[in-house]
């Protein structure tokens, strides 16, 4: 009888422990949607969405991670161009000597709109993101696709898109760091659609933008301070097309457009810094972005260091996009942002360079997801992009 009593007691204790464990797990892992949303990021690295930062029709959700990867072994394009560790030039203007010391040979027969030559002379692999601007040559270009260029690699034929439709002359074939990222409506056409004509159309404001059609409005909470002036797609295209060339940098140089974009960006930056200061045990590694009432974009990185490097030009690209969108102050919820980051399903396309990197795109309907994985010195997802494609 004592044995039966002991067995019953042990069974009761086991039931209590299992029940308690389940309750603790539910508390630990259930997303607290009123404050944040826990997600599973690439490579099993956990992400958490913080409360949104809002201004006018732009909403930005900081993406937080408890683990911060070491990305110090990689260099960005802007850094490498500024230091001279990397060179970008027009095709046909680069002569190289073969490894056996033979006479220099032409790398290409002549300059091409959609291809440049990149040389990485630095000691670090070079990270390129679709939509980054390089200035100079016969016309400004943007990087066509995320990729990694290893240190000491042979001169690389670099796929690019033109964003300066009107100039084909230049004092120097060399390119410098643009320190700019094109706004999402243009970047999508390069990164996802991979189409030059669609890139030109987006630069000129001829496409339906991410976030819906122009002219939509919605009632919602209104901030007390004066809003920056709105920028019509025609005004944006006019600024780019000024001086008989179509330089993307003119968005930032022209007044009042440049001043409006900077005002917008600085306000968001101030609110973002305030919202993410004092984090304990977590760091900002990316953002989810909504225009009006639609979540449309995300840029997430392997480390806070890499995010902070790209953040200034990413922020200004979002500000350009928001400034040209309708003044819709409808807000999206943290549940909407969380749903946007659910793993994609659909057609998968992969490209890779063995031992260097893997590029992977998965798309279904209007959603496209692009992942850039470094394969050395250890496998790591450096950049994760998700896009709600334009109608």
Q: What is the mean pLDDT of the chain?
A: 79
**What pLDDT score was predicted for residue 104?**
43
Q: How confident is the model at residue 56 (pLDDT cuts 50, 70, 90)?
A: very high
pLDDT digits 0-9 by tens, 320-342: 999 888 887 788 999 999 999 98
> For the ranges 17-21, 201-205, 296-300, which has the lowest average pLDDT?
17-21
On whether the pTM is more than 0.75, the answer is yes
Percentage with pLDDT > 90 across the chain: 51
Cβ atoms 317, 181 nearer than 8 A: yes
**What pLDDT score was predicted for residue 344?**
77
**What pLDDT score was predicted for residue 335?**
95
Cis peptide before 288, with omega less than 30 degrees from 0? no
Q: How confident is the model at residue 362 (pLDDT cuts 50, 70, 90)?
A: very high
Which of 210 and 105 is assigned the larger pLDDT? 210
pLDDT digits 0-9 by tens, 162-219: 887 666 666 677 888 889 999 999 999 999 999 999 998 888 776 655 545 433 333 3
CA within 13 Å, CB half, 110? 1
**What pLDDT score was predicted for residue 230?**
61
Cβ atoms 71, 383 nearer than 8 A: no
d(CA 139, CA 163): 8
d(CA 318, CA 312): 10
Q: Is the dihedral of CA 185, 187, 192, 197 positive or negative?
A: positive
Residue 293 DSSP SS3: coil
Sequence ranges of the domains in the chain: 35-93+109-388
């Amino acid at each position: 009888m004592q044995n039966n009593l002991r067995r019953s007691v042990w069974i009761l204790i086991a039931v209590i422990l299992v029940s308690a464990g389940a309750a603790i797990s539910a508390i630990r892992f259930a997303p607290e949607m009123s404050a944040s949303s826990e997600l599973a990021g690439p490579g099993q690295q956990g992400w958490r969405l913080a409360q949104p930062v809002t201004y006018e029709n732009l909403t930005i959700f900081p993406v937080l991670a408890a683990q911060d990867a070491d990305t110090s072994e990689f260099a960005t394009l802007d850094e490498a161009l500024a230091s001279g560790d990397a060179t970008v030039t027009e095709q046909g203007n680069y002569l190289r000597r073969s490894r056996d010391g033979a006479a220099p040979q032409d790398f290409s027969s002549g300059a091409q709109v959609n291809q440049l030559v990149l040389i990485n002379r630095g000691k670090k692999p070079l990270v390129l993101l679709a939509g980054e601007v390089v200035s100079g040559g016969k016309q400004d270009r943007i990087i066509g696709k995320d990729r990694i260029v290893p240190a000491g690699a042979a001169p690389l034929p670099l796929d690019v898109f033109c964003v300066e439709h009107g100039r084909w002359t230049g004092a120097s074939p060399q390119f410098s760091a643009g320190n700019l990222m094109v706004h999402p409506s243009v970047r999508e056409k390069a990164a996802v659609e991979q189409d030059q004509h669609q890139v030109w159309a987006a630069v000129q404001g001829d496409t339906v933008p991410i976030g819906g059609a122009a002219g939509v409005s919605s009632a919602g909470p209104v901030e007390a301070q004066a809003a920056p002036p709105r920028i019509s797609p025609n005004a944006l295209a006019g600024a780019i097309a000024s001086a008989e060339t179509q330089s993307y940098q003119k968005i930032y140089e022209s007044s009042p457009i440049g001043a409006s974009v900077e005002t917008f960006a600085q306000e968001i930056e101030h609110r973002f810094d305030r919202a993410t200061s004092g984090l304990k045990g977590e760091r900002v590694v990316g953002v989810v972005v909504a225009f009006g009432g639609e979540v449309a974009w995300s840029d997430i990185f392997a480390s806070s260091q890499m995010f902070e490097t790209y953040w200034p030009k990413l922020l200004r690209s979002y500000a350009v996009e928001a400034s040209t969108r309708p003044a819709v102050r409808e807000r999206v919820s943290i549940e909407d942002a969380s749903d946007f980051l659910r793993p994609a399903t659909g057609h998968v396309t992969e490209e890779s360079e063995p031992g260097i990197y893997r590029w992977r795109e998965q798309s279904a309907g209007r959603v496209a997801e692009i992942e850039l994985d470094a394969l050395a010195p250890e496998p790591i997802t450096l950049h994760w992009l998700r896009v709600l494609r334009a109608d």
